[in-house]
Amino acid sequence: MTVHFVDTHAHICSESFRDDFEEMIRRTEEAHVDRIMIITLSNEETKRAVEFAQRDPYKYTVAAGIFPEDVKDLTDAYYEEFMQTASMKEVSVIGEIGLDYYWEKDPGVRALQRELFVRQIELARKLNKPIAVHSRDAMQDTFDIMKEHHWKGLMHCFAGSKEMAAEFTKLGYYIALGGPVTFKNARHSAEVVTSIDEKYLLTETDCPYMAPVPKRGKRNEPAYIPYIAAKMAELRGVSIEYIADVILRNWDRFLEQCA
């Protein structure tokens, strides 16, 4: 029996894969990572991803968003164009959007990030598309916004506690985990994997970043998803076949929420 895998967060339309794109995709086929959500952070990237989704809508899902740090350079003209791109029927998810206080220390800019986050959640609601949320060193503010402006979506690269994960799943949000679950010091991630209701669990690479052990430190790619799924299976005391099947069904259910 072949085991099939899902990568719910892959920046494969970024510069990092320019030189070996075809080989990288071939490796996803060999590894049976046959569902990939392409996260795009510019209108150019989105247009490229849309072409893949048109050719193979089962394999590729497209997410488009404005990353929190990009709020500093955001113009009205760009936002206008982003709203057009986000409305395309091939764009299924709005993301990644959210808050990043790790890179941003200025309280004024952090406030702008919160404003942009809310604005994109409201756009997602208008378009009836779920959100993919980035949150770094900003868990409480992220949660408060996602509770007040409650919508459907997922938490990407979840780095909070198991208690926090439970609060998010109570609101119906999915929890995606990647490379860090394979890291030795990743106590939080391991606890989240073992404690949450399996129906909210998703796998992701966040490639080109966050490569899992044994590829840690290298460029990450979707073909490494099996390492992450294997670790999740081990932590939960189930087979990799079982966990991969649960995640595949979760992904189908998540996508059913898309317009």
Binding site for Zn ion (CB under 5 A): 96
Question: Following DSSP, what letter does each residue of 195-231 receive, concatenated?
Answer: HS-GGGEEE---BTS-PPTTSTTSPP-GGGHHHHHHH
Block residue for tokens 């990353």? 67
Q: Which is nearer to Zn ion, 25 or 63 (CB)?
A: 63
Q: Which is nearer to Zn ion, 50 or 233 (CB)?
A: 50
**Taking a C-beta distance cutoff of 8 angstroms, is the pair 211, 179 a contact?**
yes
Q: Rounded to the nearest whole angstrom, what is the least distance from the CB of residue 107 to Zn ion in the complex?
A: 24
Q: Rounded to the nearest whole angstrom, what is the least distance from the CB of residue 205 to Zn ion in the complex?
A: 9
Q: Rounded to the nearest whole angstrom, what is the least distance from the CB of residue 14 to Zn ion in the complex?
A: 9
Q: Rounded to the nearest whole angstrom, what is the least distance from the CB of residue 239 to Zn ion in the complex?
A: 29
Q: Which is nearer to Zn ion, 96 or 100 (CB)?
A: 96
Block residue for tokens 């399996």? 198
Q: Which is nearer to Zn ion, 9 or 231 (CB)?
A: 9
Q: Rounded to the nearest whole angstrom, what is the least distance from the CB of residue 39 to Zn ion in the complex?
A: 5
Q: What are the C-alpha distances in Å from 181 to residues 170, 184, 231?
A: 22, 8, 7
Q: Which is nearer to Zn ion, 97 or 223 (CB)?
A: 97
